[in-house]
């Protein structure tokens, strides 16, 4: 019969604001070029904080220092063919440094953009998902939760297959 246990895909994202502008990545998707927050899937053997630091560096070439959890969001990619995916998304905020010289964006990112709230609102049709606007809106409303809420058990770092 196989394992029929439902499992959401865990993702991490970063709301990064400087002087009223938000850092977005432009990336190639199956629906063409889309705008997203620096974000991606959590990988085996890393904590949520390690995951968001890695994703921001890969997609912006900038070191990221998480300062707070903005939100935990859950959503479903409506079924298309065989795909029926639910995402559990942890959105953080923090600061970035200047891009590291010599680094390049990880594929499928093609560019980074600093957008004002009005610019972000005006291009909603190009957002990768509704989570882009929602995460920034929650940030603008002052949602900040202590990183001390997060705990990573040492078993995450154990050598060998995950699960079981």
- Of residues 87, 97, 2, the one with CA closest to residue 57: 97
Per-domain residue ranges for the chain? 9-78+85-149
- Of residues 81, 71, 87, 89, the one with CA closest to residue 139: 71
Instruction: Give the tens place of pLDDT for each residue, 77-132.
Output: 766 666 788 999 999 999 999 999 998 999 899 999 999 999 999 999 999 999 99
User: Which one of 3.90.79.10, 1.20.1640.10, 3.30.479.20, 3.40.50.1980 gives the CATH number of domain 9-78+85-149?
Assistant: 3.90.79.10
The answer to whether 38 touches 132, Cβ cutoff 8 Å, is no
Instruction: Give the tens place of pLDDT for each residue, 58-72.
Output: 999 999 999 999 999
pLDDT score for 96:
98
The answer to whether 15 touches 93, Cβ cutoff 8 Å, is yes
How do the residues of the chain divide into helix, strand and coil, expressed in percent and rounded to 5?
A: 25, 40, 35
Mean pLDDT of the chain: 93
The answer to whether 35 touches 121, Cβ cutoff 8 Å, is no
What contacts 24+ positions apart, CB below 8 Å, involve 4-7?
A: 6/86
pLDDT score for 30:
87
pLDDT score for 95:
98
The answer to whether 128 touches 108, Cβ cutoff 8 Å, is no
% of the chain with per-residue pLDDT over 70 = 93
């Amino acid at each position: 019969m196989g394992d029929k246990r439902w499992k959401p895909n865990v993702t991490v994202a970063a709301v990064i604001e400087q002087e009223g502008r938000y850092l977005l990545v432009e990336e190639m998707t199956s629906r063409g070029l889309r705008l997203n927050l620096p974000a991606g899937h959590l990988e085996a053997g890393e904590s949520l904080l390690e995951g968001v630091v890695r994703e921001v560096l890969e997609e912006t070439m900038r070191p990221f220092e998480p300062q707070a959890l903005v939100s935990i969001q859950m959503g479903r990619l409506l079924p298309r063919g065989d795909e029926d995916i639910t995402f559990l998304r942890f959105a953080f905020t923090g600061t970035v440094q200047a891009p590291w010289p010599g680094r390049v964006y990880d594929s499928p990112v093609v560019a980074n953009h600093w957008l004002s709230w009005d610019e972000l609102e005006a291009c909603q049709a190009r957002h990768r998902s509704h989570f882009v606007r929602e995460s920034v809106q929650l940030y603008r409303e002052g949602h900040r939760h202590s990183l001390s809420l997060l705990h990573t058990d040492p078993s995450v770092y154990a050598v060998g297959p995950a699960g079981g």
